[in-house]
Structure 1
Amino acid sequence: MQYDPIKRSLGRVFNQTPALRKLFYRLLDLLLLRAWHVGEELKKLNLPETAHILDAGSGFGQYTYRMSRMFPKASILAVDVKEDQIADCNRFFGQIKRAGRVRFEEADLTRFVQPGKFSLIISIDVMEHIEEDVQVFRNFHQSLTEEGVLLISTPSDQGGSDVHDHDHEEGVHGFIDEHVRDGYNIREIEEKLKLAGFSRVEARYSYGKPGRLSWRLSMKYPIQLLGASKLFFVLLPFYYLIVFPLAALLNYRDVKSRHTTGTGLIVKAFK
């Protein structure tokens, strides 16, 4: 059973109206630990009021939507390789009257450069899919303003690229099969970013012990059950009513703790 088909199925359910889509984004922000970590880092930023932001690998548009709320006067360009998702996101942001300052475009990050344009670039669970990562880092560096910041969330090498769950049990396949590397070594990604021209890099582990337990409770187990039977969708609200308070506490502990190891990395790089 894989993660992406279930995510697409849920996306179709919540994509029927703008209100449902907003609810979907809110649920993702509450349940996904990486969204907690990214949100914590975004709150620390001191961006120009009318900053230009790049969401590099925007997917369903979850983080673009969040940043459009956090930075209400910023201009946001969101790029992805999936044409259908680009069209879908542009339609949604048009429906909620944010198309004037938020737009989605199809782009290949190995070739995408807009010199000196962006105060912030975020790349959330994207780099593990791209073989030519140093070239992408160079493009990011070139596309940032002099005071610009790059924020990355990606799996670490402390367990592989199984969406932060790394139980290699016999017969259990990863939720995502598209990763080109089994996570980054923390020193490796720091060195690659400096090779690309960044002057300072700060990297820390995420998904420590609290985060790994939370991910199993809030994501792995319900997704496995949905994969086994769509009937579980009816029971999902009752499951989360029981599980979410514990998962939220574990997420909070993961975000506020410094981990000596973890299956995820949060990386900030400064031009």
Structure 2
Amino acid sequence: MQYDPIKRTLGKLFNQTPALRKVFYRLLDLLLLRSWHVRQELKRLELPAKSAILDAGSGFGQYTYRMSRLFPKSQILAVDVKEEQIADCNQFFTQIQQSDRVRFAEADLTKFEQREAFNLILSIDVMEHIEEDVQVFKNFHQSLKPGGVVLISTPSDQGGSDAHEHDHDHEEGGVHGFVDEHVRDGYNIQEIEDKLKSAGFAKVEARYSYGTPGKISWRLSMKYPIQLLGVSKLFFILIPFYYILAFPIAAILNYCDVKGSHTTGTGLIVKAFK
């Protein structure tokens, strides 16, 4: 399925005013199961009130915006490979008067390092696109302050590439070590734990997401409506009515996926501590 044309259309629609963009972020928070898992993990973190945060692979800026509200006294640097997205996000945060503590910049994660600068590094559906993942993990470790944590969401090797290809935030790649296609089908839990430990992390916690409830929810909330939109843009008219019926079911399934423990799943949530 080709998702990029639909994402570009939605991006243009909701980017006309700051208020519409906030609505777009809220819709992503509600619809994407990945957002439910990341939101839960962020709320559980015990960060200093005035933390320094790196959003490593910020895309549309959805999670940067979430963290700016969740950690209102923190300084946030968000980096990505897309120059136009960086400019767009900087403009939005200027419009909402948050540019004094939230900044976007273009960066290559295989080379980016700011020694002991951050309390938290967030990396959402990025690592599956980067061949030199161990080098990125080393850069993360060097960039974290002692006691800092990196939070990663990425597909697992249990079919994760198919389940996640719809909702990564990047539209294109091919530069700065990032390629739009996945360079791996997904991580095995032991594999990503070993790679993070080899990069210097003392403690790593990994768990499956997108278990059975999540996979059903993904089909209801994302796969089927996007397939319809791919057939004809006329389905934009019907989508609100579809979600009136489908979203309550998807929300219950998302809640079950977030609160449950899964022996397998198509996604991984990983925390690594320095």
TM bucket by the smaller chain? over 0.9
Residue ranges of structure 1 left out of the alignment (5+ in a row): 167-175
Question: Which residue does the alignment assign to 2:73?
Answer: 73
Q: Distance in 2 between matches of 1:211 and 1:129?
A: 22
Q: CA RMSD in A?
A: 1.3
Q: Which of the residues 175, 179, 184 maps onto 1:181?
A: 184
Matched to 1:87, the amino acid is A
Q: Which of the residues 250, 255, 269 maps onto 1:266?
A: 269
1:95-174 correspondence runs (5 A): 95-164=95-164
Q: Distance in 1 between matches of 2:34 and 2:84?
A: 24
Q: Deviation digits for residues 167-205 of structure 1, max 9, x if unmatched?
A: xxxxxxxxx961110000111000000000000000000
Q: Distance in 2 between matches of 1:134 and 1:9?
A: 35
CA positional deviation for 1:9: 1.4
Q: Deviation digits for residues 139-189 of structure 1, max 9, x if unmatched?
A: 0000000010000000000014123489xxxxxxxxx96111000011100
Moved more, 62-71 or 155-164: 155-164
Matched to 2:85, the amino acid is Q
Shift in CA distance, 111/123, structure 1 to aligned 2, threshold 3 Å: same
Tell me the secondary structure at the aligned position of residue 252 of structure 1. helix
Q: Distance in 2 between matches of 1:78 and 1:8?
A: 21
Question: Which residue does the alignment assign to 1:228?
Answer: 231
1:193 paired to 2:196: yes
CA positional deviation for 1:4: 2.6
The question of whether the paired residues in 2 share the 8 Å contact of 1:93 and 1:99 is answered with yes
Q: Distance in 1 between matches of 2:100 and 2:162?
A: 37
Q: Distance in 1 between matches of 2:117 and 2:146?
A: 10
Identity percentage of aligned residues: 78
The question of whether the paired residues in 2 share the 8 Å contact of 1:134 and 1:192 is answered with yes
Matched to 1:202, the amino acid is E
Q: Normalising by structure 1, report the TM-score.
A: 0.95
Tell me the secondary structure at the aligned position of residue 231 of structure 1. helix
Question: Which residue does the alignment assign to 1:57?
Answer: 57
Matched to 1:97, the amino acid is Q
Q: Normalising by structure 2, report the TM-score.
A: 0.94
Q: Deviation digits for residues 43-76 of structure 1, max 9, x if unmatched?
A: 0011111100000000000000000000001000
Q: Which of the residues 255, 259, 262 maps onto 2:258?
A: 255
Q: Distance in 2 between matches of 1:231 and 1:50?
A: 47
Matched to 1:201, the amino acid is V
Q: Distance in 1 between matches of 2:100 and 2:164?
A: 36
Shift in CA distance, 23/7, structure 1 to aligned 2, threshold 3 Å: same
1:246 paired to 2:228: no
Tell me the secondary structure at the aligned position of residue 36 of structure 1. helix
Question: Which residue does the alignment assign to 1:172?
Answer: none
Matched to 1:109, the amino acid is L
Aligned length: 262
Matched to 1:204, the amino acid is R
CA positional deviation for 1:8: 1.8
Q: Distance in 2 between matches of 1:18 and 1:158?
A: 38
The question of whether the paired residues in 2 share the 8 Å contact of 1:128 and 1:182 is answered with yes
Q: Distance in 1 between matches of 2:14 and 2:257?
A: 28
The question of whether the paired residues in 2 share the 8 Å contact of 1:164 and 1:207 is answered with no
Q: Deviation digits for residues 89-123 of structure 1, max 9, x if unmatched?
A: 00000000000000000000000000000000000
1:45 paired to 2:45: yes
